[in-house]
Structure 1
């Protein structure tokens, strides 16, 4: 049977209903395997919503069911909305994909003058900047704004050559949004609402913190820590990071609204007879720019296909029976995916309320397998195996605390003072309850420095779960009896790990 005939066979209502019944059974199996409290799914084919349903509950331990109107944080699937807004700027003649960024944003600067001159608009969203993966993500976590994130690029040290390899960053989508704001005269959130949400009838969607937490029908946010389910309530102090990083990941939506977004994508930029984005420029947002994963004998991975490439806020994967365009999203509490097969005019969106899980990709791939009548594969087991491999790798790489740690070389008071660098600003260290406490960022975020060995300490956010890990260490440099620098391992890969101590804070003491 040809691919076309397979597609037609599964468009017949009887066959489709049988596949969807099988799919629902699989969804519950996967949800229970990964202990996901709630899932919402919608599918679109030939400009129609052919499936919509919620599974499980909004909050772990409750009985309030997820439904198709339940609001989730969609995370990095937001990136494609930002690239669509840039595509609309190209449509309007404000810029071209091949324009230099500095010709539109003269203050755009990187640490390398040649890279600054060579950076094109299309490079902003192609994930080949040369920066470290997730570089400067913590700036938003500790309270810095978008202007600071953009300005910090001039101090950010590359780890590879420009355009040479894939590296996932969020900060450059904030630069892309600055282009949107310059030429629309609106904030990114306003432009998003007026140019995409409103014409697509996505009335239940938003891109602000209040838009999520004031919604009557929204999901809870869940993370798993040491095998335990943790619910991040409204008072968790770090929610704003997502909405500051907005153009890279802050949209709040539900599967019904996201189905409208899929209709636009499958309609080549046209929705209900009206062109929202030109077909050519929308197609450019899905055009491969950077090798994401490729090569012989790739291990099976849901949505991975036989080779995948990052485009402009989308991933383009060569798969059977046809290429899949997709992107995942992860927030502090949700994991999501949007995926579609342009040549077959079919797509699916999966929203879950547990972070750090492969469930969205597993279910999206299973949906396509059933839709096309593909070879049966248990993607759930493949995902669980990958999870165990990752846990084993993490365990093997874990730093083991010394069995008999040496005490600090100096009294704790000698480590106090202000340390600074050009990206993260000041870190102020004080002694409280006989331990060192660091304060960082505009939000004055507190970090416990828990003693590890001699002048090395663990970096642990005081308010609970954060982007740190048990392996994140911080050390002090001492020269001639004086503490000179603070080295934060968590920031070292960005070239931002060294914080120099203010001269007036140096206290000489015998070692």
Structure 2
């Protein structure tokens, strides 16, 4: 179990006394790195707007930010906006860590999560620019060891398919591999055993593992690690000196946010000793960048500049545009309910989402880590974008604020996206509650003595699970990191799979059952893994013990 300093549960969210005095650092009237006051820059950039109107919109936006922050109990937020190649807004709100008085400012480092994916697709776009590959090339022609469980799919898988979220795999398939300590090589190798749940290219299914394959292309042709290529080809040319993509890069930063999650109505702070932090950085090409809103504003300038930054082409306009080209239907339909940034229909591209919206399409992507929620969004035709970084995971706050910013910028009709988001949250909770399995009021005892369930169980994706009896309960150990899992009795030969280290990987609790034939335990079935085609663990023959009961 983690120490009390590594996993802190607090009884409530931000108290009103702190809320009233934690608005962060307001840089609206200060001088930015370009040598101009931000409000002056904004007025010059938006020449068609009256300065009074712009000021009023920004003031209204800030009031809305605080309303939303308090509604969702988010300790801290940082926001920056870019228009026509200038940073027009940057500010921190709230505090870096719950219970502190240390304000968030525009230099505060956050984990940006899956907004990293667009950086990986940009690196692949640069490979296309350099002539190493084409978007329509087969993956196996560049990575001969790339294999899926279906030979036809293996042959048909194109470079463009790697980042288009239509693989046929279950949503988030094999994500737990990184939580329990497996490396990127293992993640790629596991694809040959992963069973699809839909046909290839038939529907949207969000995964992280294939971005690791895309990064393998980057590493093959640059001769550098993904992290090195990212730093040299994107961070350095864009002057993103405060950004990194490693665990140490985040936790050694002097000005970084705390990481917060919600658990049973309490605020949980995950400090550097929480045992699962490395998952994010192993899944790196899908989500490991650490950055702040000032550095991310540079990334927005590149996007709005069609691949050119301060007069230098970083990636060609054509190949950058391809990363935003719709590939897979994400949300669409006549009965589509209002969703911040969803527009009237959205499609997954290559590490970006392309949404048809009024008055113009929005390109965006959210990010979620164990402690942060983020979004990067921009309107290419209007040359404007916004980045929102927050330090509480699992909320819609980033999308809500990005959509509100665009509504104010374009003078759109008033719509309370915050209330829409809160309603969606309640609907999700109700749906989750309805789907939750109810424990039996009078559970039957296990069919066999607990010792008969011990032993080693294996499958080709998650490797070995070793089960032992400790303090009269079953304990499973999984992965290279030997992660402990409590198997809490549910009913007869069914148990609950619960990570021992407090708030585990997205709290992936699951019902787990043992199959028994002729008095012998033969298989362990983990329902959570079974949904992604990897849930059956076969017991080693030498561990089979026939019960005398």
Q: TM-score range by the shorter chain?
A: over 0.9
Q: What is the CA deviation profile of residues 223-257 of structure 1, one whole-angstrom value per residue up to 9, with x for unaligned ones?
A: 00011000001100000000000000000000000
Shift of 1:467: 2.5
Shift of 1:493: 1.2
Deviation, structure 1 residue 8: 6.0
User: Whole-Å Cα distance in 1 between the matches of residues 171 and 474 of structure 2?
Assistant: 29
- SS of the equivalent of 1:165 reads coil
Residues 189-246 of structure 1: CA deviation (Å, up to 9, x unaligned) = 0000000000000000000000000000000000000110000011000000000000
Structure 2: gaps of 5 or more residues: 1-38
Alignment partners' CA distance in 1, 2:109 and 2:495: 40
User: For each residue in 1:385-405, what CA deviation from the matched residue of structure 2 results, as whole angstroms up to 9, or x when unmatched?
Assistant: 000011111111111110011
Query: Structure 2-normalised TM-score?
Result: 0.91
Task: Assess, with a 3 A threshold, how the Cα gap between structure 1 residues 415 and 278 changes in structure 2: closer, same or farther.
Answer: same
Separation in structure 2 between the aligned mates of residue 240 and residue 5 of structure 1, nearest angstrom = 43
CA drift at 1:447: 0.2
Deviations 1:132-177 (A, max 9, x none): 0000000000000000000000000000000000000000000000
Quote the offset at 1:12 in angstroms. 3.5
CA distance in 2, matches of 1:503, 1:296: 55
Shift of residue 297 of structure 1? Answer: 2.6
**2:68 — aligned with what?**
30
Q: CA deviation at 1:410?
A: 0.5
Task: Determine if contact 1:398/1:471 at 8 Å carries over to the other structure.
Answer: no
Structure 1 residue 114: deviation in Å? 0.3
Note the C-alpha offset of 1:67. 0.2
Aligned residues: 511
**Could you tell which deviates more after superposition, 8-17 or 286-295?**
8-17
Q: In terms of mean alpha carbon deviation, does 105-114 or 468-477 score higher?
A: 468-477
In the TM superposition, residue 104 of structure 1 has moved relative to its aligned partner by 0.1
Range that drifts further, 421-430 or 471-480: 471-480
Q: 1:410 to 1:468 in 2, by over 3 A?
A: farther
CA distance in 2, matches of 1:298, 1:6: 38
Partner of 1:178: 216
Residues 101 and 119, structure 1, Cα contact 8 Å, conserved in 2: yes
Aligned counterparts of 1:5 and 1:309: Cα–Cα separation in 2: 34
Local SS of the residue matching 1:194: helix
Where does structure 1 differ by over 3 angstroms across 4 or more consecutive aligned residues? 1-12, 468-471
Question: How far 1:424 sits from its partner (Å)?
Answer: 0.2
Q: 1:468 and 1:77, CA in 2 relative to 1: closer, same or farther beyond 3 A? A: closer
Distance 1:509 1:4 in 2: 76
346-355 or 460-469: which moved more?
460-469
Inter-partner Cα distance in structure 2 for 1:2 and 1:239: 41
Quote how far apart the aligned CAs of 1:18 are.
1.1
Q: How far 1:302 sits from its partner (Å)?
A: 0.2
Identify if the C-alpha distance between structure 1 residues 468 and 64 changes in structure 2 by more than 3 Å, giving closer, same or farther.
closer
Counterpart contact for 1:439–1:445, Cα < 8 Å? yes
* SS of structure 2 residue aligned to 1:66: coil
Deviation for aligned residue 1:458: 0.4
Structure 1 residues not aligned, in runs of 5+: none
Q: Is the 8 A contact 1:6 1:372 kept in 2?
A: no
1:500 to 527, 535, 538: 538
Instruction: Kindly state the Cα deviation for residue 470 of structure 1 after the two structures are TM-superposed.
Output: 7.4
Cα distance, 1:13 vs. partner? 2.6
- Equivalence for 1:318: 356
